[in-house]
Amino acid sequence: MIAIPFDSSQVMQGIASIAPEAILVCTAITVLMADLFLAEDGKWLLCWLSLAGVLAALGEVYLLGSSRIVGFSGMITSDGFGMFFSTVVLSACALVLLMATGWSERAGTQKGEFYSLILMSTTGMLIMAKGTDLMTIFLGLETLSIPIYVLVGFQRSRMTAIEGALKYFLLGAFGAAFMLYGMALIYAATGTTKIPVLVYMSVGGGMAGSSLFLAGMGLLLVGFAFKVSLFPFHMWTPDAYEGAPTLVTAFMSAAVKAAAFAALVRVAMLLFPGVSPAIGPVLWVLAVLTMTVGNISALGQNNVKRILAYSSIAHAGYIMVGLVAGDLLGSQAALFYLLVYAFMNIGAFGVLMLISQKEDDGYDIHNLRGIGFKYPVLGALLTLFLVSLAGIPPTGGFIGKFYLFSAAVKNGYIWLAILGVLNSAASIYYYLRIVVYMYFMTPEGEVVTPHTPPFGYALALCACAAVVLVLGMIPGAVLTMAEQSVLSLLM
Amino acid sequence: MMGPSAYLILSGILFAIGAIGVVARKNALIILMSVELMLNGVNVAFVAVGSYMGDPTGGIFAFMVMTVAAAEAAVGLSILIAIYRLKETIDITELSVLKW
């Protein structure tokens, strides 16, 4: 029997590398406990408690900084790349919790388990973004997904919610199984699941001849495609987005997408170069089809939540353009775009949540008639977010798309860039259609009265608008940050 | 010693049966069972490769997969119960409030 050596500095390093996650888990458990002791009219405290935990985790992320901390013998690495995505995910979570202050009461989600599940899911996202072992990425993915399945079906008396949850669950579990089989094949081909070792083995095309390894990478890509809703694995997205409570939809579209892309970018930047002749064209086709299918399906929809769901599929396609480009600029653009996308999409959903009176029918585009002139602030905010989603200057969405497509052009993917711009132009139609309904359609009967947002909610909306505008005019600092984090990945 | 290829083929067959079950079956409960079958196919591959290479990673991974599968089954079954209470069916072709 060999005694296992105990190295306390290693243990401390491991704990340091997961400190933000640890804070989130502790908060989640505290929220669950506090829920037991709070009276019904004191439940609002839970939301603020969760928010405090998220902000503490965000503080911890910045305390750790971008220095490289390898924890648990290479299972998880806290580096600049992890820091960037932790920031995106935690800000998205904080915004959603701020919005919950004015929303949970009327949506029936003012419960301990609701906030606890959001925090648990956020933990999974951080683990996924920081995982440097296929096992950690898988566990992060499941820690992220399982609470989201529950959150989608949270309002379980609504048929659409529970149906969306079932579809998301079945397809999500199906996709996870594919990803897992890919991991098993990669393990069979190489004998390791550690990404740095896999990079070492596949560098210079060392593994490109192994069909087992290629099949593994392909299945891994299928698994990721399910999570980030790439064509043809996007079937669940509109249903899950429409069925979920809108707050959860906002959270899913921003944070889940960012976390799944974080792991995908890590794998793509590090492992795909070794197998690029086989996988490059596949990514190209996926990117184009995803954009096109997302945009075309969005054209004919009348439910605003569904429009935004299809638009989120199209946006996954735009981000894939950065991965197809495959160089520093492409990944940097993808990171920047994910950050902007989180803020503009949460902002758009935030405004819609105020306008709609109830789930399902409340999100019909006809309910937006006449909102624009009667409630100028709400109208202007929604217009700003939609303009940014469409990629029109001076917004962050424009800068993000500009960098994505210029990365494609720089790497010789001219057609990809052209198709991307054409798609972007097509998407302007359905975004502006919403704006047209707000300003130029005369309402049938009364204009709906939006809810008055409490302070926290208004703050979150203002923060989204400010970030979208500031990134549209002075993107330099964030672009540098994105560049640094991709560089820290390649080191 | 025989290589793990026979076990890999077995795992591939299990995975394929599961995948076909997910696509072809209409009862959500059977689909859930098929997903579990896919996961167990994966487990066979992990354990076989791990033991062939004398590497503990494969076995550890299989344990993680089992844990996750249990958690997934718990959530999946509760979603099924919730849907049965509303519709008195778990046939996925009857779930058409939202377009597929």
Q: Is residue B87 part of a domain?
A: yes
Question: DSSP character for A254?
Answer: I
Query: How do residues A287-313 score in pLDDT, each as one tens digit?
Result: 999 999 999 988 888 888 889 999 999
Which among B64, B65, B79 has CB closest to A169?
B79
Separation of alpha carbons A416 and A396, rounded Å: 21
Spell out the residues 6+ positions from residue A428 whose beta carbon is closer than 8 angstroms to its own. Answer: A390, A391, A392
All residues of chain A having their beta carbon less than 8 Å from the beta carbon of residue B68 are 138-139, 142, 176
Distance from CA of A78 to the nearest CA of B (A): 22
H-only helix segments in A300-393: 304-325, 328-355, 371-374, 376-390
Residue entry with tokens 């994105």: A482
Domain ranges of chain A: 15-490
Which pLDDT score is estimated for A120? 94
Summarised one tens digit per residue, pLDDT across range A427-459 is: 999 898 888 888 887 777 777 778 888 888 889
What confidence tens digit (pLDDT) does each residue in A23-64 have?
999 999 999 999 888 887 888 888 899 999 999 999 999 888
Q: A419 with A292: CB under 8 angstroms?
A: yes
**Burial letters A367-395, b for 16+ CB under 10 A, else e:** bbbbbbeebeebbebbbbbbbbbbbbeeb
- Comparing CA positions, the residue from A256, A13, A17 lying closest to residue A140 is A256
Cross-chain CB nearest to A243 (options B53, B60, B98)? B98
Q: Does B100 touch chain A (CB under 8 A)?
A: yes
Cα B97 from chain centroid? 27
The alpha carbon torsion through A76, A81, A87, A90 (nearest 10 deg) reads -30
Question: Searching chain A, which residue's CA lies closest to the CA of residue B98?
Answer: A239
Q: Which CATH number do you get for residue B66?
A: 1.10.287.3510
* Cβ–Cβ below 8 Å for B72 and A177: no
Q: What is the dihedral of CA A462, A468, A473, A479, to 10 degrees?
A: 130
d(CA A245, CA A165): 11
Count up the domains in chain B and report the number: 1
> Which residues of chain A lie closer than 8 angstroms to B99, CB-CB?
238-239
Q: What is the DSSP letter of A442?
A: P
- Partners of A181 on chain B (C-beta within 8 Å) are 15, 38, 41-42, 45
Q: What is the helix (H) or strand (E) element at residue A423, kind and residue range?
A: helix A414-440
Report the pLDDT value the prediction gives residue A42, as an integer from 0 to 100. 81
Task: Please give the average per-residue pLDDT across A312-329, as a whole number.
Answer: 88
- Per the rule left: phi > 0, alpha: psi between -120 and 50, beta: everything else, A445 is left
3-state helix, strand, coil in chain B (%, to 5): 80, 0, 15
Which residue range is the domain that position B90 belongs to? 5-94
- Give the pLDDT confidence of A329-343 residue by residue, as tens digits: 888 999 999 999 999
Euclidean distance between CA atoms A275 and A212, whole angstroms: 12
Q: In chain B, which residues have their Cβ closer than 8 Å to the Cβ of A164?
A: 98
Query: Is the pTM here over 0.80, yes or no?
Result: yes
Q: What's the distance, Cα to Cα, between the start and end of chain A in Å?
A: 38
Q: Which residues of A touch B (CB under 8 A)?
A: 135, 138-139, 142, 146, 149-150, 153, 156-157, 159-160, 162-167, 169-170, 173-174, 176-177, 180-181, 183-185, 187-188, 191-193, 235, 238-239, 242-243
CA distance A351 to A383: 10
Cross-chain Cβ contact B49/A188 below 8 Å:
yes
B59 near A CB under 8 A? no
Within a domain: B26? yes
Chain CA centroid to CA A189, Å? 31
Q: Is B48 part of a structural domain of the chain?
A: yes
Chain A residues with beta carbon closer than 8 angstroms to that of B41: 181
Coil, helix or strand for A268? helix
Distance from CA of B55 to the nearest CA of A (A): 8
Is the CB of residue B6 less than 8 Å away from at least one CB of chain A?
A: no
Judge contact between A243 and A330, C-beta under 8 A: no
- CA B58, distance to chain mean position in Å, is 18
Q: What is the largest CA-CA distance in chain B?
A: 56
User: Mean per-residue pLDDT for A95-108?
Assistant: 84
User: By CB neighbour count within 10 A (0-12 exposed, 13-18 middle, 19+ buried), where does A280 fall?
Assistant: middle
Q: In whole angstroms, how far apart are CA A87 and each of A22, A137, A291, A378?
A: 16, 18, 26, 27
- With bands split at pLDDT 50, 70 and 90, how would you rate the model's confidence at B1? very low
Q: Please give the Cα distance from A181 to A222 (Å, whole number).
A: 10
User: Do residue A170 and residue B92 have CB atoms under 8 angstroms apart?
Assistant: yes
CA-based nearest residue to A19, from A127, A181, A149, A166:
A127
Residue pLDDT, tens place only, A61-97:
988 888 888 888 888 888 888 899 999 999 999 999 9
Position B100 scores a pLDDT of 43
Alpha-carbon gap, residue A6 to A248, rounded angstroms: 43
Q: Do B76 and A169 count as a contact with CB atoms less than 8 A apart? A: yes
| Structure-block tokens of residue A476 | 């330099």
Q: Which residues are bridge partners to A203 per DSSP?
A: none
Which parts of B25-91 fold into alpha helices (H)? 28-53, 56-87
- Given a cut of 90, whether residue A481 has pLDDT beyond it is no
Q: Give dist(CA B34, CA A413) in Å, integer.
A: 41
B29 within some domain? yes
Residue in chain B lying closest to A306 (CA)? B98
Question: Is residue B2 very low, low, confident or very high in pLDDT (cuts 50, 70, 90)?
Answer: low
d(CA A132, nearest CA chain B) in Å = 14
A175 min Cα distance to partner chain B (Å): 10
pLDDT given at position B43: 94
Question: Would the CB atoms of A187 and B58 count as touching at under 8 Å?
Answer: yes
CB A241 within 8 A of CB A305: yes
List, for residues A137-179, the tens digit of each pLDDT value: 999 999 999 999 999 998 888 888 888 899 899 999 999 999 9
Q: Which residue has the higher pLDDT, A482 or A139?
A: A139
Mutation for A interface: B68, B81, B96, most A CBs within 10 A: B68
Q: Using pLDDT thresholds of 50, 70 and 90, give the confidence band for residue A204.
A: low
Q: B79 in contact with A at a CB cutoff of 8 Å?
A: yes
- For residue A310, the chain B residues in CB contact (below 8 A) are none
Task: Name A351's Cβ contacts closer than 8 Å, sequence gap at least 6.
Answer: A378, A381, A382, A385, A461
Nearest CA in chain B to A140: B68
As a whole number of angstroms, the longest Cα–Cα distance in chain A is: 82
Within A41-158, where are the H helices? 44-64, 80-100, 104-107, 112-130, 134-152
pLDDT averaged over every residue in chain A: 87
Residue A199: CB atoms within 10 A of its CB come to 17
ipTM for the predicted complex comes to 0.93
Residues in chain B closer than 8 A to A211 (CB atoms): none
What's the token pair of residue A258?
């960012």
B75 with A146: Cβ contact below 8 A:
yes
C-alpha to C-alpha distance for A3 and A147, rounded to whole angstroms: 39
Residue with the two structure tokens 């520093």: A328
Q: What share of chain A is helix, strand, coil (3-state, %, to 5)?
A: 80, 0, 20
Print burial letters for B65-77: b (CB count within 10 Å at least 16), e (below 16): beebbeebbebbe
- Name A133's bridge partners: A194
Residues A259 and A140 sit within 8 Å (Cβ to Cβ): yes
Instruction: For residue A451, give both structure tokens.
Output: 């809810």
Residue B34 and residue B18 in contact, taking contact as beta carbons nearer than 8 Å: yes
